[in-house]
Structure 1
């Protein structure tokens, strides 16, 4: 392996146990959320009743001693038809689409989509598809937080879809309602079929889904790839393997400024976690995937062969030369949480220089990653 072929550590924010700014700092779109109404039959005819109003918004809840809650909250109000309920007890229910149900489909451009179904009697079904009707789970082992209330003839439902349930890069959405029996069975859609190409309802035709602005219910960067957390694991491992199974390709996203800055920092100092500064363990086998022992961040790095160690010696000597030169600016280091005194941004690069004697302490530099303002602390 030549020196030009070296690849360094890369941050993959596929899952996290810590709280980030993306969780709590709501943009204007996240505050507004998403709204829609199911008011047409599956083939585009107006329904004869009040439409089903749908609302979606992001919800983060910090839970002590457990994985934090990151969910998309879906709320809707629908007419209650009081159809016969499934014979199974409330919970995951196969073939729930044969009963009174409201369904939600979230899809990406690769044909991956999640199907979430809920009924008025506490039943639900969550199915993951890697292609057209190509489901890779039975649905019986997938939980869902559902709350149903009733007001006269209205069914009010609130459900929480964990972030880990969504495929990567969701771009399209559709919602459906099914009720009635026999010849009176009714199929209704948020985005109906309008070209007359289908003779019967088929909710898995993604070409009839419409684009959805995910920034209204999923924070920036969380939609870039499958989210993996300690509670649910990787629900999409069939199409998005874990880091320790396949080393992901390095892809820089121009609109993901923070991740790009973290990659720059890692290229310089991949011995430390750029999020919390903890020393990372040294991988011994390939493909090399390590996790921070403090914040559980996932990292993919090369095996530290002799060439890589030699590269580190060169970097160390360069830094040492800069430290010996009082006129040299401090090197940028790991990314840490630090509130900028100028713009109040929450992340900065951390670096130190021994400008005084060991007994007196050291000088610490925090350079804001947003405005580049440098705060200096004397310890």
Structure 2
């Protein structure tokens, strides 16, 4: 019942039609909405971030729809951006056995960051390339959208849980949001590497999760 409560209150999950990927039936898409801050406070409907997962021939498609706050952007060109968590960003972490996990970060200006970790905060690969990441902005609705395709080989084998996050604002207005947050007043500072807060996901609906990580 607790998992259903989390999904019902903190994130909207929809499984839709099916298609065939690599000869195996795969769910067409699942949708999650980030509706709370990192410490479980409900945000305005204008601040809700939506992520949709679906299948590509060789990996996972991540579609992002998020408010656009027009925070200061990184000085570098679109592409890989170290320290992207210091900017306006949407993130997704995918966890496998033995605390091995993939950290993905996406910004509204076409910047991304992908890290592989073995143990909490222990980055073992800083240079995972994402060759397909595109973004667009809507001037009428103050939103941005992004689409990334993440090759299956980038995920830790046996990935079985995940969490998703969003960060925006500057200075005292910096806001940290989480799909599966910690309890209110249970932590002094946001930490997106709280693996105990991750919730189950069946990525085998979309990709082969048994292949060893090989970026």
Give 1:31's match in structure 2, choosing from 7, 16, 27: 27
Deviation, 1:195, is 6.0
Counterpart in the other structure of 2:212: 226
Q: Aligned pair 1:97/2:85, yes or no?
A: yes
Counterpart in the other structure of 2:165: 176
Q: Could you state the TM-score of these two structures normalised by the residue count of structure 2?
A: 0.84
Deviations 1:13-38 (A, max 9, x none): xxxxxxxxx743352xx233221100
Q: How does 1:236-275 map to 2 (within 5 A)?
A: none
Three-state SS of the structure 2 residue aligned to 1:136 is: strand
Deviation, 1:99, is 0.3
Give 1:49's match in structure 2, choosing from 30, 45, 48: 45
Deviation, 1:224, is 2.3
Q: Distance in 1 between matches of 2:30 and 2:204?
A: 9
Q: Distance in 1 between matches of 2:73 and 2:24?
A: 39
Counterpart in the other structure of 2:179: 190
Deviation, 1:55, is 0.7
Q: Distance in 2 between matches of 1:121 and 1:112?
A: 29
Q: Distance in 1 between matches of 2:65 and 2:159?
A: 24
Q: Distance in 2 between matches of 1:72 and 1:204?
A: 22
Q: Aligned pair 1:158/2:144, yes or no?
A: no
Q: Distance in 1 between matches of 2:184 and 2:117?
A: 25
Counterpart in the other structure of 1:72: 60
2:152/2:211 contact within 8 Å kept: no
Higher relative contact order (Cα pairs below 8 Å, separated by 6+ residues): 2
Three-state SS of the structure 1 residue aligned to 2:153 is: helix
Deviation, 1:226, is 1.5
Three-state SS of the structure 2 residue aligned to 1:87 is: coil
Q: How does 1:358-377 map to 2 (within 5 A)?
A: none
Q: Distance in 1 between matches of 2:210 and 2:71?
A: 40
Give 1:118's match in structure 2, choosing from 98, 106, 129: 106
Counterpart in the other structure of 1:350: none
Q: Aligned pair 1:202/2:191, yes or no?
A: yes
Q: Distance in 1 between matches of 2:28 and 2:54?
A: 8
Q: Could you state the TM-score of these two structures normalised by the residue count of structure 1?
A: 0.49
**4+ runs of 1 displaced by more than 6 Å?**
none
Three-state SS of the structure 1 residue aligned to 2:123 is: coil
Which sections of structure 2, spanning at least 5 residues, go unmatched? 1-19
Q: Distance in 1 between matches of 2:196 and 2:211?
A: 22
Higher strand share: 2
Q: Distance in 1 between matches of 2:156 and 2:116?
A: 9
CA RMSD of aligned residues (A): 1.6
Q: Distance in 2 between matches of 1:144 and 1:133?
A: 25
1:117/1:124 contact within 8 Å kept: yes
Which sections of structure 1, spanning at least 5 residues, go unmatched? 1-21, 61-69, 228-233, 236-379
Q: Distance in 2 between matches of 1:160 and 1:225?
A: 17
Counterpart in the other structure of 1:145: 132
Three-state SS of the structure 1 residue aligned to 2:172 is: helix
Q: Distance in 1 between matches of 2:27 and 2:77?
A: 36
Counterpart in the other structure of 2:205: 216
Counterpart in the other structure of 2:55: 58
Larger radius of gyration: 1
